[in-house]
C-alpha cells in the first residue's frame, strides 16, 4: 500500500511561508492573516502526521483519504508559495536592472498583467484563501480521528567508511567460493558442446543471486573463455526486444529487426549472457529469444537468476539441473552483521539475541546488512529485542526478507524516506548517476538545511547513509576520459543501482505517483489510476499520448527523457500555459518546447548532447529558480544568454563540450550560488566575463579555463583559485597569440593560477613559456595529483620532476619539443620506488625524448613502472627502449624507424600484452626471431609494418605469427609489400574472428593466380573462426582467399580491380559489400563477414559452402554484371552504384532488407523469389528496372517501402499487392517513382518522416514552412 510522506511536504510549506524573500519584498502584502494562520495550524498537523502514517493500515479508510487530501493540498500550497518566491526573485532582479523585453520592446509587466502588483496580489490572495479553507477543513477532520501528537525521533548520523561496505563483498565472496567453482566448471566443461547451455540460479529474494552471478560473470577464467559477455536485467516483464537490444547494445524498436540483430551479434561466437531476475512464466517469449541465441558458437551459455523454480524449469526444459543457491552460512551472516554494527557488547544476553537475529536473516546477505545497519545506532538489549520483534511482522504472502527491509526503511528520517522513495522513478537495475540524483533531490526541496553545510554536502551524506544501509548498491566510480574532442569529460562519475527488493519498497511507497514508462501499452492505465507527478522515459520508442500531454502535463513535477533521438513527441508541451515542473530533461531536441515563462518553478534543466541548439532563448534568464542547467556537448552552441547574471539560484552550469562558445556572458560573478562551472572561456570582447568573475564563485569538481591568452596577471590573481578547495580537476588552456610583449607573461599568468593542494587532475595546454612556475614543482601543492596532462608546451625547457608525484596514475605528455626524460638522474634517490602508482602513459610528438628514467635498470629487483598497464608512444624518434612494466597490457607504437617495434617483437614482453597497435614506416626493417614466445594477444592493428609480411609466397614469415593463436581481431593497414594473401601466416590464426584490410594498394589476391602451382595450403581451411572481414581501398585486389563457413559479413570497398570473391567460376556469395570495383563476380563459398548470427538453415543453406551468410552489400562497382544463385540464408541485400549490373538471382525466402540504388542496367528482380519475409524495400535511380517479384506471398511482411526515380517501373502489380497493407506500412514513399531526374520534372513529396523545420537544402521540408501543408508540388 502506498505511503503518503506528507510530513516533509508540510514542513516545506511552513518553511516557505516564512521565507525571508517573502518578507523582504512584501509580495504577501494584505495576506498576512492567512500566512499567520498557516504558521499556527501547520505545526499542529505536523505533530499528528507520524501517528496517522503509522496507523493508517489499522483505521478506517477515512484516515487514508485524509492523508491523501492533505498531500494534495500540500503540493498546492508549495506551488503557491513558490509563486510568491518567484515574484520575490523577479522583483529583486528587476531592482538590479533586469527588464525582460519582448519583440515589441514593451515591458513584460505590461504584456502580462499577472505581474502587475495589484493583479498579482488579487490572484494570489484568492489562491491562498482556497488553500486556507481546505486546511481548516482537514484540521476539523483531524480532530475527529483522535490522533496522538508524536515528535519524530532524531536519527543518529555516522560517518560512512567505504572500507566497511567493501568488507561485505569480501565476506559474500568467501562464502560462495565453492559454489562459484562448481558453476564455472560446468560452464568450462561445455566448451565443445553444440547445444546452448542454460543454467538458472534459483533462490529467494535477498539471498544474493545477483551478487553470486556477478562473481561468476567477472571471474578471470570466464572472461578469458567467453569472448562475448553481456549482462541483462529482466525483472517483471520479459521484454524480448529490450533483452536483444541490451545484448547488441542498440536501440532498435522493431521486434523482428531486433531479433535479427541479435542473431547477427551472437552468430558463430562463444558467449555468456546473464539474464538477471527473470520473473515472467512465458515459454513463448523465452522460446523466441532462445531460438536466436542458439545461433551462437560451441560452448555458449545463458546464466539466469530467478526466485521462481517454475521459471527455471521453463528455461531449462529438463535439459540440465538448476542450481539452487544455498543460504548464506550463519557464520558469514553473523560476520556481516558484526561488520555493520561495529561494536557489540560482550555478554551472553546480547549474544543470544544476536543468534536469533542471525537465524531471522534466513541466510540472506541483504537482510544481514539491513539488520547490522539498524543495530549500529542501538546500544541497549531492549532496543535489540524490539528490532527483532518488529522484523517478525510479515504480511500474508510476503517474502521473509521484505519485513526486515521495510523495518530498515521505517527507521529512516522522513526526508531520507522522501529521497529514497523518489528513486522509484528509475527502472529496475538502472545505473543511476549520483550527481544527477542529488540535483534532482535538490530540485524537489527534499534536502533539509543542516547548520551551515551546503545542501549538496547534506545530500551527499544522505546518499552515503542510504548506501551504507543497502538502499543503494554497486556504488562505483567510472572514468570519463575519452578521445572524442566534443566530449571532454575530465571528471569521473559515480553511479549506483538499487536492489530489486529495495526498488519494490520504493514503488510500494510511491504507488503510481512516480513511474518509469518502459512501454506504451500500459501508459494510459497509469494516467487514469492515480495522479502522476514524476515520469521517467528511458527509451526512445515511447510517445506520450495526446490526452496525457494535454491534461496531465501541467501537474507533472518531473519529466525526464533519456537517449532522445527525435522519436518522442513533446509538441503538446507548447500548449501547456503553466507547468509545475521542477525537473525537465530533454536531450537532443531542436529547440526548447516550452517557453521559459511557463517554467518558473523549474530547478533542473538538462538539454545536453544536442547539436541542434545554437543559442538559448533570451528569456531563459527569467528562470530565477533554476539550480542546474546542463548544456554538456551542445557543440554548436555559440553563445549563452547575456542576462544569465540574474539567474541567482543557479548552482550547477555544465558547458563542457560547448566548443564553439567564444566567451561567457558578463558579470557571472553575481551567481554566488554557483558551485559547478565546467567550462569557462575568456573572450577578447569587453562585453565578456573576465576570469576575475571566478573570485566570488565557490566552485567544485571540474573547471576548464580556456582562452588564457586574454587574461592578465591581475585577473588571474583575482580569480583566487587557491581558495577553491573543492576543485578536483583543473584544465588551463591557451588558444592563440599573446597580446603582451613580456616574454614571461604566460608564466606570470600560470603562476597566478596556483590551485589548492588537494587537486587530483591538472591539464596545461599550449603554454608558451620556457619555465613552469614554482608551484608546479612544489610537492606540497600537487601531492594528491593522480592525473597530469601537458600538451603543446613547445617552448618549455624545464619540466616538473614527475618522479616525485607518488600518487600519479595517468600521465599524458604531448608536443613537448624539449623534454628529454621523465626523470633526470639527479632528480631521484636510488633507493626509492619511482612511479609506484602510474598506470597509463601517453607520449606523443616528443622530438628530443630519449629515456624514461636516466637511471633505469639500477634498482635491484624493482621495475621502474610496477603498475603500468597502458602505453602509447607516437613520434618520439630518439626513444630507443620501452618501459620496465611487468603488468603492461596495451601498447600503441607509432614510429618511422623500428627502434622500439623490433626489440619488442623479439622480447618476452609481447607475451603479456592483450592489445598491440603498431604503425612503423621503416621499409628496411627485417624481423628475425631467435625464439618463439606464447602470447595472449587478442587485438592487433598493423599500419605499414612491412616486416610482418613476405613479398613472395615462397618465403613466408611464419615464426612470429605462431604467437598469435589467441588473436581475435586483426587490422592490416597500408602495407606496401603485401602482394598476396598471407595464407601460410593465416594458418596460425585459429581464433581470429574479425579481419580488416585497408589501403594495401599492391595486394592482388591468392598466389595461385600468378604461380602455376598452388601452395600447400590451397586445400587447408585457415581462419576457421572468422566471422567478419572488411577489405577497403585495395586498388589491385582481384580476389579474396577461401572463406570459412563461419563467415557472416564481407565488406569490400574501394577495390577498383576486384573481380572474384573466389576463383573465376560462377559461384554464389551470400553477404558481400563491394565499393568502387571494376570487375566483380560472386563465388558460392562467401558469407557475410561481420558479427552476424547464424540463421535457421534450410536444406539448401546447409549444403551451401557459406551457410551463415546473411548480408550482401555491393557498391561502386563498374564491371559487375550478374550475381547468380545467391544463398538462401541472406537476410540483407544491397547494391549501390553498379552501372553494369543486369541481373541477380536466388530463392531468398529469408531476405528482410533489399536496397538497390543507381543500377541503371538492372531490368528485373523477379529471379529473387516471392520475398515473403521482406520488411524493407528501397529502390532509387534504376532507369531500366521494370518488374519486381509479385508472387502470392510477396511483401506479406513489408513495413517500409521507398521507390524513387525508376521511370520504367510497372507499378500496377505492386500496388495490387500492397493495397491491403497500405494502412499498416510504417513508411512509404512511392509518389515520385517515375520521376526521371531528382532535380527536375514533377516531384510529389511523400508523407514519410516528418521534418520539424524547413531547410533550404532539403526541398522535402519546404512544406513545413506553410502551416497545415501536407503536400507540395514543385
Q: Are 738 and 760 in contact (CB under 8 A)?
A: no
Confidence of residue 718 (pLDDT cuts 50, 70, 90): very high
pLDDT at 832 > cutoff 60 = yes
Alpha-carbon distance 99 to 704, whole Å? 31
The DSSP H or E segment spanning 498 is: none
Q: Are 337 and 375 in contact (CB under 8 A)?
A: yes
Q: Are 762 and 737 in contact (CB under 8 A)?
A: no
Q: In the numeric block, which cell numbers belong to residue 236? A: 517483471
pLDDT at 1260 > cutoff 70 = no
Give the model's pLDDT for residue 818.
92
Give the model's pLDDT for residue 1265.
39
Q: What are phi and psi of 918, to 5 degrees?
A: -120, 135
Report the relative pairing of strands 583-585 and 558-561 from DSSP bridges: parallel
Q: Are 222 and 187 in contact (CB under 8 A)?
A: yes
Query: What is the average per-residue pLDDT within 179-184?
Result: 93
Closest CA to 889 of 870, 903, 908: 870
Give the model's pLDDT for residue 1072.
40
Q: Are 167 and 463 in contact (CB under 8 A)?
A: no
Give the model's pLDDT for residue 965.
87
Helix or strand or coil: residue 662? Answer: coil
* N-terminal to C-terminal alpha carbon distance within the chain: 62
Q: In the numeric block, which cell numbers belong to residue 391? A: 522484523
Give the model's pLDDT for residue 846.
96
Alpha-carbon distance 1130 to 1110, whole Å? 4
Report the relative pairing of strands 493-497 and 473-478 from DSSP bridges: antiparallel
pLDDT at 274 > cutoff 90 = yes
Alpha-carbon distance 292 to 241, whole Å? 12
Q: Are 581 and 557 in contact (CB under 8 A)?
A: yes
Measured N-to-C along each axis, helices 162-175 and 209-217 cross at an angle, to the nearest 10 degrees, of 80
Alpha-carbon distance 977 to 956, whole Å? 12
pLDDT at 935 > cutoff 90 = no
Tens digits of per-residue pLDDT, 510-530? 888 888 876 555 555 555 455
pLDDT at 706 > cutoff 90 = yes
Low-confidence winner among 30-39, 68-77, 398-407 (lowest mean pLDDT): 30-39
Give the model's pLDDT for residue 202.
94
Top-ranked range on mean pLDDT: pick from 540-549, 591-600, 698-707, 1194-1203: 698-707
Alpha-carbon distance 261 to 1054, whole Å? 26
Tens digits of per-residue pLDDT, 610-621? 888 888 988 899
- 1274: exposed, middle or buried (Cβ count in 10 Å: 0-12, 13-18, 19+): exposed
- Label residues 441-464 b or e (16+ Cβ within 10 Å = b): bbbbbbbbeeeeebbbbbbbbbbb
Q: What are phi and psi of 560, to 5 degrees?
A: -120, 115
Measured N-to-C along each axis, helices 434-443 and 455-468 cross at an angle, to the nearest 10 degrees, of 120
Q: In the numeric block, which cell numbers belong to residue 1200? A: 517500409
Low-confidence winner among 21-25, 407-411, 970-974, 1251-1255 (lowest mean pLDDT): 1251-1255
Tens digits of per-residue pLDDT, 114-127? 578 888 888 888 88
Alpha-carbon distance 433 to 204, whole Å? 29
Closest CA to 549 of 567, 530, 527: 527
Give the model's pLDDT for residue 209.
92
Place of cell 566443461: 189
- 969: exposed, middle or buried (Cβ count in 10 Å: 0-12, 13-18, 19+): middle
Q: In the numeric block, which cell numbers belong to residue 538? A: 528511458
Query: What is the average per-residue pLDDT within 233-241?
Result: 85
pLDDT at 681 > cutoff 50 = yes
Q: Are 204 and 401 in contact (CB under 8 A)?
A: yes
Confidence of residue 1180 (pLDDT cuts 50, 70, 90): very high
Q: In the numeric block, which cell numbers belong to residue 963? A: 604467437
Closest CA to 652 of 594, 689, 578, 703: 703
Alpha-carbon distance 390 to 384, whole Å? 10
- Label residues 854-889 b or e (16+ Cβ within 10 Å = b): bbbeebeeebbbbbbbbbbbebbeebeebbbbeebb
Alpha-carbon distance 1105 to 1084, whole Å? 7
Place of cell 567477472: 218
pLDDT at 1270 > cutoff 50 = no
Full set of structural domains in the chain with CATH? 6-145 (no CATH), 162-324 (3.40.50.300), 601-825+833-872 (3.80.10), 1244-1274 (no CATH)
Q: In the numeric block, which cell numbers belong to residue 756? A: 589548492
Low-confidence winner among 286-295, 931-940, 979-988 (lowest mean pLDDT): 931-940
pLDDT at 344 > cutoff 70 = no
Alpha-carbon distance 346 to 65, whole Å? 49
Give the model's pLDDT for residue 100.
62
Q: Are 1073 and 1063 in contact (CB under 8 A)?
A: no
Q: In the numeric block, which cell numbers belong to residue 974? A: 597500408
* Count of C-beta atoms within a 10 Å radius of residue 15: 15
Closest CA to 1194 of 1237, 1154, 1141, 1246: 1154
pLDDT at 878 > cutoff 90 = yes
Tens digits of per-residue pLDDT, 736-750? 766 656 778 899 999
Give the mean pLDDT of the chain: 81
Query: What is the average per-residue pLDDT within 915-941?
Result: 84
pLDDT at 139 > cutoff 80 = yes
Low-confidence winner among 532-546, 672-686, 1241-1255 (lowest mean pLDDT): 1241-1255
Higher pLDDT, 563 or 13: 13
Higher pLDDT, 493 or 425: 425
For 845-914, list the strands marked E by DSSP.
851-853, 870-874, 890-895
Q: Are 1110 and 1149 in contact (CB under 8 A)?
A: no
Report the relative pairing of strands 558-561 and 534-537 from DSSP bridges: parallel
Closest CA to 759 of 699, 842, 841, 672: 699
Higher pLDDT, 722 or 483: 722
Give the model's pLDDT for residue 484.
43
Query: What is the average per-residue pLDDT within 85-102?
Result: 83
Confidence of residue 572 (pLDDT cuts 50, 70, 90): low
DSSP β-bridge partners for residue 340 = none
Report the relative pairing of strands 1073-1075 and 890-895 from DSSP bridges: unpaired
Give the model's pLDDT for residue 773.
94
Q: Are 417 and 195 in contact (CB under 8 A)?
A: no
For 1063-1199, list the strands marked E by DSSP.
1073-1075, 1111-1115, 1122-1123, 1132-1136, 1143-1144, 1153-1157, 1176-1180
Cα distances (Å, whole numbers) of residue 661 to 486, 614, 638: 12, 10, 5
The DSSP code for 572 is: G
pLDDT at 1246 > cutoff 70 = no
Q: Are 587 and 562 in contact (CB under 8 A)?
A: yes
Place of cell 612503423: 920
pLDDT at 199 > cutoff 60 = yes
Low-confidence winner among 494-503, 637-646, 825-834 (lowest mean pLDDT): 825-834
DSSP β-bridge partners for residue 893 = 873, 918
Alpha-carbon distance 1017 to 997, whole Å? 21
Any residues with CB less than 8 A from the CB of 651 and at least 6 apart, and which? Answer: 442, 456, 627, 628, 673, 674, 675, 676
Higher pLDDT, 25 or 1221: 1221
Using CA atoms of 684, 686, 689, 692 in order, give the dihedral in degrees to the nearest 10.
90
Low-confidence winner among 275-279, 479-483, 601-605, 939-943 (lowest mean pLDDT): 479-483
Query: What is the average per-residue pLDDT within 1119-1147?
Result: 83
pLDDT at 1198 > cutoff 50 = yes
- 528: exposed, middle or buried (Cβ count in 10 Å: 0-12, 13-18, 19+): exposed
pLDDT at 292 > cutoff 70 = yes
Tens digits of per-residue pLDDT, 1042-1100? 888 888 788 888 887 887 775 454 343 333 444 444 333 333 333 333 333 333 334 44
Q: Residue 755: how many CA atoms within 13 Å on its side-chain side?
A: 30
Give the model's pLDDT for residue 1079.
37
Give the model's pLDDT for residue 153.
58
Give the model's pLDDT for residue 1092.
30
Give the model's pLDDT for residue 486.
36
Alpha-carbon distance 277 to 907, whole Å? 48
Q: Are 637 and 631 in contact (CB under 8 A)?
A: yes
- Sequence-distant contacts of 283-289: CB under 8 A, at least 24 apart: 283/314, 285/238, 285/240, 286/238, 286/314, 286/315, 288/240, 288/259, 289/240, 289/243, 289/244, 289/259, 289/262
Higher pLDDT, 210 or 1230: 210
Number of helices (H), then strands (E), in the chain = 32, 42
Amino acid at each position: 500500500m502506498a505511503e503518503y510522506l506528507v510530513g516533509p511536504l508540510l514542513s516545506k510549506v511552513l518553511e516557505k511561508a516564512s521565507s525571508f524573500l517573502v518578507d523582504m519584498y512584501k509580495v504577501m502584502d494584505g495576506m498576512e492573516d492567512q500566512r499567520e494562520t498557516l504558521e499556527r495550524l501547520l505545526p499542529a498537523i505536523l505533530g499528528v502526521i507520524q501517528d496517522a502514517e503509522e496507523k493508517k493500515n489499522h483505521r478506517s479508510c477515512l484516515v487514508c483519504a485524509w492523508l491523501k487530501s492533505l498531500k494534495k493540498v500540500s503540493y498546492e500550497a508549495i506551488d503557491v508559495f513558490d509563486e510568491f518566491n518567484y515574484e520575490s526573485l523577479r522583483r529583486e532582479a528587476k531592482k538590479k536592472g533586469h527588464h525582460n523585453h519582448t519583440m515589441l520592446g514593451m515591458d513584460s509587466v505590461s504584456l502580462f498583467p499577472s505581474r502587475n502588483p495589484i493583479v498579482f496580489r488579487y490572484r494570489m490572495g484568492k489562491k491562498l484563501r482556497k488553500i486556507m479553507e481546505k486546511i481548516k477543513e482537514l484540521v476539523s477532520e483531524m480532530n475527529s480521528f483522535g490522533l496522538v501528537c508524536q515528535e519524530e525521533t532524531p536519527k543518529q548520523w555516522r560517518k560512512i567508511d567505504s572500507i566497511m561496505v567493501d568488507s561485505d563483498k569480501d565476506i559474500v565472496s568467501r562464502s560462495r567460493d565453492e559454489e562459484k567453482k562448481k558453476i564455472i566448471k560446468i560452464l568450462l566443461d561445455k566448451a565443445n558442446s553444440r547445444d546452448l547451455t542454460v543454467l538458472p540460479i534459483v533462490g529467494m529474494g535477498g539471498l544474493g543471486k545477483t551478487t553470486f552471478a556477478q562473481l561468476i560473470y567477472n571471474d578471470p577464467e570466464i572472461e578469458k573463455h567467453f569472448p562475448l559477455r553481456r549482462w541483462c536485467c529482466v525483472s517483471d516483464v520479459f521484454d524480448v526486444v529490450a533483452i536483444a537490444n541490451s545484448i547488441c547494445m542498440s536501440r532498435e524498436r522493431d521486434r523482428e529487426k531486433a531479433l535479427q540483430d541479435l542473431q547477427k551479434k551472437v552468430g558463430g561466437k562463444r558467449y555468456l549472457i546473464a539474464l538477471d531476475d527473470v520473473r515472467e512464466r512465458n515459454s513463448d517469449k523465452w522460446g523466441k529469444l532462445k531460438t536466436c541465441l542458439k545461433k551462437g558458437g560451441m560452448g555458449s551459455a545463458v546464466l539466469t537468476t530467478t526466485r521462481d523454480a517454475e521459471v527455471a524449469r521453463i528455461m531449462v526444459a529438463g535439459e540440465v539441473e538448476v542450481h539452487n543457491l544455498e543460504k548464506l552460512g550463519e557464520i558469514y551472516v553473523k560476520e556481516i552483521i558484526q561488520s555493520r554494527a561495529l561494536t557489540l557488547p560482550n555478554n551472553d544476553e546480547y549474544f543470544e539475541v544476536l543468534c536469533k537475529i542471525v537465524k531471522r536473516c534466513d541466510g540472506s546477505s541483504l537482510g544481514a546488512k539491513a539488520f547490522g545497519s539498524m543495530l549500529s545506532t542501538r546500544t541497549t538489549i531492549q532496543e535489540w529485542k524490539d528490532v527483532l520483534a518488529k522484523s517478525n511482522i510479515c504480511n500474508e504472502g510476503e517474502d521473509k526478507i521484505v519485513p526486515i527491509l521495510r523495518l530498515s526503511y521505517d527507521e529512516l528520517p522522513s526526508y531520507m524516506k522522501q529521497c529514497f522513495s523518489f528513486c522509484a522513478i528509475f527502472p529496475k537495475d538502472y545505473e543511476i548517476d549520483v550527481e544527477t540524483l542529488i540535483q534532482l533531490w535538490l530540485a524537489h526541496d527534499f534536502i533539509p538545511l543542516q547548520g551551515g553545510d551546503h545542501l549538496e554536502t547534506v545530500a551527499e551524506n544522505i546518499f552515503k547513509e542510504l548506501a551504507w544501509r543497502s538502499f543503494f548498491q554497486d556504488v562505483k566510480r567510472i572514468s570519463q576520459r575519452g578521445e572524442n574532442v566534443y566530449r571532454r569529460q575530465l571528471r569521473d562519475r559515480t553511479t549506483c543501482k538499487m536492489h530489486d527488493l529495495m526498488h519494490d519498497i520504493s514503488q510500494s511507497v510511491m504507488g503510481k505517483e512516480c513511474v518509469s514508462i518502459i512501454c506504451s501499452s500500459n501508459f494510459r492505465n497509469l494516467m487514469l489510476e492515480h495522479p502522476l507527478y514524476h515520469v521517467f522515459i528511458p527509451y526512445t520508442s515511447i510517445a506520450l499520448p495526446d490526452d496525457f500531454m494535454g491534461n496531465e502535463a501541467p501537474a507533472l513535477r518531473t519529466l525526464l527523457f533519456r537517449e532522445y533521438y527525435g522519436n518522442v513527441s513533446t509538441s503538446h508541451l507548447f500548449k501547456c500555459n503553466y507547468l509545475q515542473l521542477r525537473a525537465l530533461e530533454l536531450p537532443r531536441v531542436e529547440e526548447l518546447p516550452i517557453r521559459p515563462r511557463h517554467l518558473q518553478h523549474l530547478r533542473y534543466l538538462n538539454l545536453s548532447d544536442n547539436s541542434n541548439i545554437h543559442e538559448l532563448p533570451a528569456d531563459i534568464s527569467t528562470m530565477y529558480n533554476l539550480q542546474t542547467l546542463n548544456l554538456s556537448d551542445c557543440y554548436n552552441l555559440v553563445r549563452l544568454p547575456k542576462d544569465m547574471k540574474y539567474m541567482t539560484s543557479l548552482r550547477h552550469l555544465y558547458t563542457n563540450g560547448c566548443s564553439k562558445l567564444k566567451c561567457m556572458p558578463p558579470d557571472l560573478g553575481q551567481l554566488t550560488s554557483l558551485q559547478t562551472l565546467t567550462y569557462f572561456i575568456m573572450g577578447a570582447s569587453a562585453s565578456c566575463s573576465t576570469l576575475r568573475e571566478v573570485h566570488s564563485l565557490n566552485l567544485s569538481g571540474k573547471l576548464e579555463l580556456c582562452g588564457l591568452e586574454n587574461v592578465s596577471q591581475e585577473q588571474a590573481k583575482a580569480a583566487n583559485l587557491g581558495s577553491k578547495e573543492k576543485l578536483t580537476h583543473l584544465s588551463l588552456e591557451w588558444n592563440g597569440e599573446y597580446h603582451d610583449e613580456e616574454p614571461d607573461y604566460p608564466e606570470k599568468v600560470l603562476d597566478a593560477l596556483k590551485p589548492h593542494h588537494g587537486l587530483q587532475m591538472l591539464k596545461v595546454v599550449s603554454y608558451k613559456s620556457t619555465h613552469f612556475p614554482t608551484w608546479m614543482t612544489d610537492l606540497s601543492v600537487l601531492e594528491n595529483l593522480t592525473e597530469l596532462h601537458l600538451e603543446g608546451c613547445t617552448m618549455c625547457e624545464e619540466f616538473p620532476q614527475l618522479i616525485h608525484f607518488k600518487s600519479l596514475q595517468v600521465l599524458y605528455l604531448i608536443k613537448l619539443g624539449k623534454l628529454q626524460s621523465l626523470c633526470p638522474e639527479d632528480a631521484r634517490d636510488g633507493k626509492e620506488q619511482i612511479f609506484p602508482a602510474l598506470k597509463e602513459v601517453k607520449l606523443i610528438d616528443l622530438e628530443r625524448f630519449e629515456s624514461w628514467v636516466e637511471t633505469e635498470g639500477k634498482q635491484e629487483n624493482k621495475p621502474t613502472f610496477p603498475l603500468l598497464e597502458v602505453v602509447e608512444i607516437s613520434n618520439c624518434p630518439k626513444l630507443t627502449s620501452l618501459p620496465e612494466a611487468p603488468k603492461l597490457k596495451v601498447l600503441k607504437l607509432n614510429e618511422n624507424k623500428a627502434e622500439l617495434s623490433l626489440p619488442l617483437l623479439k622480447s618476452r614482453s609481447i607475451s603479456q600484452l592483450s592489445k598491440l597497435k603498431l604503425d612503423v614506416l621503416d621499409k628496411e626493417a627485417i624481423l628475425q626471431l631467435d625464439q618463439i614466445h606464447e602470447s595472449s594477444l587478442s587485438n592487433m592493428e598493423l599500419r605499414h609494418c612491412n616486416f610482418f609480411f613476405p613479398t613472395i609466397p615462397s618465403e613466408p614469415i611464419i615464426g612470429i605469427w605462431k604467437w598469435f593463436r589467441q588473436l581475435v581481431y586483426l587490422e592490416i593497414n597500408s602495407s606496401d609489400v603485401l602482394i598476396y594473401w598471407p595464407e601460410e601466416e593465416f594458418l596460425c590464426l585459429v581464433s581470429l574472428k574479425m579481419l580488416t584490410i585497408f589501403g594495401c594498394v599492391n595486394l592482388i589476391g591468392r598466389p595461385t593466380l600468378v604461380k602455376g602451382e598452388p601452395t600447400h595450403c590451397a586445400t587447408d581451411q585457415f581462419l576457421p573462426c572468422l566471422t567478419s572481414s572488411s577489405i577497403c581501398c585495395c586498388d589491385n585486389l582481384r580476389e579474396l582467399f577461401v572463406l570459412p563457413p563461419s563467415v557472416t559479413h564481407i565488406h569490400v570497398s574501394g577495390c577498383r580491380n576486384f573481380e572474384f570473391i573466389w576463383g573465376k567460376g560462377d559461384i554464389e556469395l551470400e553477404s558481400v559489400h563491394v565499393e568502387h570495383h571494376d570487375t566483380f563476380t560472386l563465388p558460392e563459398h562467401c558469407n557475410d563477414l561481420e558479427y552476424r548470427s547464424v540463421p535457421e538453415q534450410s536444406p539448401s543453406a546447409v549444403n551451401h559452402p557459406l551457410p551463415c551468410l546473411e548480408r550482401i552489400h555491393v557498391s561502386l562497382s563498374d564491371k559487375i554484371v550478374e550475381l547468380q544463385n545467391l544463398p538462401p540464408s541472406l537476410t540483407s541485400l544491397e547494391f549501390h552504384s553498379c552501372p553494369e549490373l543486369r541481373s541477380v538471382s536466388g530463392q531468398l525466402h529469408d531476405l528482410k532488407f533489399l536496397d538497390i540504388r543507381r543500377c541503371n542496367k538492372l531490368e528485373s528482380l523477379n529471379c529473387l523469389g516471392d520475398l515473403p519475409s521482406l520488411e524493407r524495400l528501397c529502390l532509387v535511380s534504376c532507369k531500366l528496372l521494370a518488374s519486381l517479384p509479385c508472387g502470392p506471398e510477396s511483401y506479406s511482411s513489408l513495413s517500409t517501402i521507398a521507390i524513387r526515380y525508376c521511370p520504367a517501373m510497372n507499378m500496377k502489380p505492386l500496388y495490387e499487392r500492397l493495397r491491403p497493407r497500405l494502412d499498416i506500412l510504417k513508411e512509404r514513399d512511392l509518389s515520385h517513382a517515375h520521376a526521371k531526374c531528382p532535380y527536375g520534372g514533377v516531384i510529389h513529396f511523400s508523407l514519410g518522416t516528418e521534418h520539424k523545420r524547413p531547410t533550404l537544402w532539403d526541398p522535402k521540408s519546404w512544406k513545413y514552412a506553410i502551416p497545415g501543408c501536407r503536400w507540395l508540388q514543385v
